[in-house]
Amino acid sequence: MILTVTLNTALDITYRVRELRPHGSHRVSEVTERPGGKGLNVARVLAALGHEVTVTGFTGGATGRVVQEQLTDIPGVLDALVPVSGTTRRTIAVVDELTGDTTQLNEPGPTVTSAEWSAFQEAYEGLLGGVSAVALCGSLPPGVPVGAYAGLIRTARTAGVPVLLDTSGEPLRRGVAARPDIVKPNTDELAELTGSHDPLRATQDARRRGARAVVASLGTRGLLAATPEGTWHATPPARVHGNPTGAGDSAVAGLLSGWVERLPWPDRLARAVALSAATVLAPVAGEFDRAAYEELVGRVAVTGDASAA
């Protein structure tokens, strides 16, 4: 069992329009709704790969009830969300069918009280006893301490459970210092953390700050990983066009599934890159084009040196 944590869960709503024009009125050709937030996207992809997943985080209000109702329709995903008095946020993605570009609107999320945060920590600690790995994903809702992920990492380490952290800003900085097993920033998040705009130097610096392994998303150029076993760069065979929402979450699912399956790092990275590209080709976040994934995974180029750790 894998545990994913999404403190700022969401109902992801995707609108498709022929052409997005500022200040204009648009006719929507298609609307889809999915349980969202980074960790829930990760969970859906993990389940599609054959892993059993428990999801936790916060849920509240009418939007939260919709999220939980839809979670019951996902085979392999167990709902362990913790209730709050506020209302789960919505995220709106508007896909321009003419260009393939996506415009994202993200609500802030409900304000979490200190009592609700304490209840979550207790529930989280109880869930760790039956899992092989945990992913801590996404932004923090209002009211949750900025050092929340650092505390959750330390709790997991005490329980002997490996941790992947995917967040940004101050929560990332504090989380790295708590020594997670993997962090997965993008280049901007990595530069903000380390002050370096050179990805290789920045990944190595992030390891010195406490992360056991750092996997940096380079966008269309793939993933760069600095690990105790070596340093590798995984590159997709071709650039794909579509909706990039959730591509990074699919990469997390690839890394985490590879971790629990004990795959070598080059194979984990190839899976993560192929899943990310296949997600761009899917219509909504948290899904991937399986045929594209199976075709791409064997064509991802992974270069590096195991002696470069």
Active site residues: 249
- Among 274, 158, 155, 164, smallest CA distance to 213 is for 164
Say which residue the tokens 């940096």 belong to: 216
- Residue 248 token pair: 């990074």
Is the Cβ–Cβ distance between 80 and 54 less than 8 Å? yes
What's the N-to-C CA distance of the chain in angstroms? 30
- The Cα 256–Cα 42 span in angstroms is 9
- The Cα 288–Cα 244 span in angstroms is 11
**CB count in 10 Å sphere of residue 306:** 13
- Among 178, 150, 156, smallest CA distance to 2 is for 156
**CB count in 10 Å sphere of residue 260:** 15
Contacts of 94 (CB under 8 A, 6+ apart): 14, 15, 16, 17, 20, 102, 103, 104, 105
User: 57-88: string of b/e by CB count within 10 Å (b at 16+)?
Assistant: bbbbbebbebbbebbeebeebbbebbebebbb
